[in-house]
């Protein structure tokens, strides 16, 4: 793959006066070891040349020369800027636009940047799956080139008194929120609980402290949320775990809890400038900025008990109102056969139906990728995928909502698409790419309360013959399955 590094990645790489971040060192090491090309945009050199500190400018420019510059990058014109609606009010904007335009025009496969504004622009252009923060990129390359599939860590539910408050994990919270320890101890005495990730040694790596509130006032201008709602009082993922979907797992626990308890909203407070990972994660799952509370911004996700009767894009509907999805007659439905070994990788929480947690664990991430060689055309974002576990269980177990589709034999293109969510190894992808490959990016919506076995599907005239490839089913058949 060809990976473009933003200027804000190059500078710390070349700054010998500071300790290199572990994730950045890992990223460069994995890229070099596995033949991925790290590139810079010529605009990055221009950016460094604007540094008013002559000596620092001379050193930075001399060191950046060791990176290969992107040859003949796509030219970004005023017409392109207007068409793509990319703002350009400063030299920084202009350089950011040149860099992201190179990705948009497919001159490179991925872009790595810590600049949240570039991430926002990528989302507007529909290429955000190809723009990574450092830790996301390092984690993705680590998974791709692992000799074994990486199982995502589990989530435990604990009372606050069971968690070691003296852990250095809480230091950043103490710094940002004076009086944090006193608040935590008061919450602990009130019986508050949290979803956490603990490593093998029992050390805290991520936490979401939660409570249920009734019609709370959540902003400084006295705006409230009606009904019973879920507040995520503290939400933090340790830096060493970012990019490994732990934040997604914590959100999944929150969504499940809100669903089974019929809570109609979920909210949390944050400082987006200090917590860009959290802000991006929440916005991707339907949270919207709602107002301000003291020094924080309030983010709220609508979580209606029943799906709202709205005629909007079906994928946007699912993103905004997860876990609800649009299943009307305009949405196509497909049965997707999946071998047991891949079913286990994608849906490790399938055994948890009937309760929120069993043995203190939560399931896998929400955003998933599935690769196959099916030739069926016509699948669109918002369509529904009914996953059929073949060979052993021979039953439909789960429903996913299509987010993006591609058909390609280009291994780099496949890597681009699945880089943020893959459980496939690099060798798996190379093997798949020997033939035309269908890439299905989807979000897991739910597992069926009652699986539908092959014989039942035959008896109800939903399928004929063996289920060996993706097949479309009628809306009536879908209604029988979910009834």
Domains of the chain, residue spans: 2-144, 156-302, 333-482
User: Among the ranges 243-247, 294-298, 353-357, which has the highest mean pLDDT value?
Assistant: 294-298
Q: How far apart are CA 417 and CA 127, in angstroms?
A: 9
Please, where are the H alpha helices in 199-349?
Answer: 246-260, 276-284, 314-321, 340-346
CB 352 within 8 A of CB 364: no
CATH no., domain 156-302: 3.40.630.30
pLDDT, tens only, 303-330: 999 999 898 999 999 999 999 999 999 9
State pLDDT tens for residues 212-254: 999 999 999 999 999 999 999 999 998 877 777 889 889 998 9
Q: Is the pLDDT of residue 365 over 50?
A: yes
B/e letters for 285-308, b = 16+ CB within 10 Å, e = fewer, are bbbeebbebeebbbbbbebeeeee
Lowest mean pLDDT among 97-111, 166-180, 270-284, 364-378: 364-378
Q: Return d(Cα 294, Cα 30) in angstroms, integer.
A: 43
16 — pLDDT class (breaks 50, 70, 90): low
User: Would you state the torsion angle of the CA atoms of residues 110, 115, 120, 126, taken in this order, to the nearest 10 degrees?
Assistant: -10
Burial tier of 148 (Cβ tally within 10 Å: 0-12, 13-18, 19+): exposed
Nearest to residue 7, comparing CAs of 94, 87, 130? 94
Same fold, 156-302 and 333-482: no
Q: Where are the alpha helices (DSSP H) in 68-221?
A: 78-84, 91-104, 116-125, 134-144, 171-176, 180-189
333-482, CATH topology level = 2.30.130
Which CATH number is 2-144 given? 3.40.50.1010
């Amino acid at each position: 793959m060809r990976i473009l590094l933003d200027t804000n990645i190059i500078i710390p790489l070349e700054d010998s006066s500071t300790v290199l971040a572990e994730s950045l060192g890992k990223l460069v090491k994995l890229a070099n070891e596995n033949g991925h090309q790290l590139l810079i945009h010529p605009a990055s050199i221009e950016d460094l040349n604007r540094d008013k500190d002559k000596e620092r400018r001379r050193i930075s420019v001399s060191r950046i020369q060791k990176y290969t510059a992107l040859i003949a990058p796509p030219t970004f014109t005023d017409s392109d800027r207007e068409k793509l609606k990319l703002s350009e009010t400063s030299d920084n904007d202009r350089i950011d636009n040149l860099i992201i335009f190179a990705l948009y025009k497919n001159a490179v496969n991925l872009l790595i940047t810590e600049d949240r504004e570039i991430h926002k622009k990528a989302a507007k252009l529909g290429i955000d799956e190809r723009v990574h923060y450092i830790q996301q990129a390092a984690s993705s390359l680590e998974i791709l080139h692992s000799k074994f599939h990486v199982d995502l860590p589990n989530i435990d539910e604990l009372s606050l008194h069971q968690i070691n408050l003296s852990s250095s994990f809480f230091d950043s919270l103490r710094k940002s929120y004076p009086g944090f320890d006193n608040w935590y101890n008061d919450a602990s005495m009130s019986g508050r609980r949290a979803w956490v990730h603990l490593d093998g040694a029992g050390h805290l790596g991520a936490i979401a402290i939660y409570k249920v509130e009734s019609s709370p006032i959540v902003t400084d201008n006295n705006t409230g949320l009606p009904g019973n709602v879920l507040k995520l009082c503290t939400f933090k993922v340790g830096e060493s775990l970012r990019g490994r979907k732990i934040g997604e797992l914590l959100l999944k626990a929150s969504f499940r809890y809100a669903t089974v308890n019929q809570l109609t909203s979920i909210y949390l407070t944050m400082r987006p400038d200090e917590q860009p990972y959290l802000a991006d994660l929440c916005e991707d799952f339907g949270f919207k900025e709602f107002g301000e509370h003291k020094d924080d911004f309030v983010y709220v996700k609508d979580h209606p008990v029943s799906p709202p009767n709205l005629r909007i894009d079906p994928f946007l509907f699912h993103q905004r109102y997860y876990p609800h999805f649009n299943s009307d007659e305009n949405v196509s439905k497909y049965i997707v056969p999946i071998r047991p070994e891949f079913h286990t990788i994608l849906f490790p929480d399938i055994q948890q139906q009937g309760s929120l947690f069993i043995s203190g664990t939560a399931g896998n991430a929400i955003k998933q990728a599935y690769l196959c060689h099916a030739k069926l055309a016509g699948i669109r974002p918002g369509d529904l995928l009914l996953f059929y576990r073949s060979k052993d269980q021979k039953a439909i177990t789960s429903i996913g909502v299509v987010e993006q589709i591609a058909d390609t034999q280009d291994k780099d293109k496949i890597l681009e698409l699945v880089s943020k969510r893959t459980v496939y190894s690099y060798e798996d992808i190379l093997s798949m790419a020997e033939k035309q490959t269908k890439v299905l990016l989807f979000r897991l919506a739910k597992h069926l309360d009652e699986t539908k076995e092959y014989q039942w599907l035959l008896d109800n005239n939903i399928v004929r013959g063996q289920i060996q490839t993706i097949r479309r089913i009628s809306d009536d058949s879908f209604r029988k399955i979910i009834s």
